[in-house]
Amino acid sequence: MNKAELVNAMAEKAGLTNAQAKKALDAMMSATVDTLKKGDKLTLVGFGTFSVADKAARKGRNPQTGKEIMIKAKKVVKFKAGAGMEM
């Protein structure tokens, strides 16, 4: 499913227009990004938890040359599924 298909599904299930559903989805995504950029976590009970984790610097290899390179430390987004996500 891509973003357009998600917007269509949201509109149908919530009884919204596609424009309203797109606006709601964009607002949710923006709020999620803002929360994670602050270093906070976002918990949606029954769905899951988004959080930020630090990934340490490490050594890697350039696959084209085989030369060893240093990969910088960075922050990554993690998602832990909630109980409502069981398949």
What CATH number is given to the structural domain containing 53?
A: 4.10.520.10
Q: At what angle do helices 3-14 and 18-37 cross, to 10 degrees?
A: 120
Looking at residue 51, its pLDDT comes to 97
Q: Among 6, 40, 42, 38, which Cα is nearest to 24's?
A: 6
My answer on whether 86 and 46 are in the same domain is yes
My answer on whether 46 and 58 are in the same domain is yes
My answer on whether 32 and 72 are in the same domain is no
User: Does residue 86 have a pLDDT over 90?
Assistant: no
My answer on whether 54 and 72 are in the same domain is yes
**pLDDT tens digits for range 13-72:** 999 999 999 999 999 999 999 999 999 999 999 999 999 999 999 999 999 999 999 999
- The CA-atom distances, in angstroms, between 78 and each of 4, 43, 46, 54, 67 are 24, 12, 17, 10, 30
My answer on whether 64 and 33 are in the same domain is no
My answer on whether 32 and 6 are in the same domain is yes
Q: CB of 11 within 8 A of CB of 3?
A: no
pLDDT tier, 84 (very low <50, low <70, confident <90, very high otherwise): confident
Helix ranges (H only) for 1-87 are: 3-14, 18-37
Round to whole Å and give the CA distance between 23 and 7: 9
pTM: 0.78
My answer on whether 85 and 49 are in the same domain is yes
My answer on whether 54 and 80 are in the same domain is yes
- Structural domain that includes position 34: 1-38
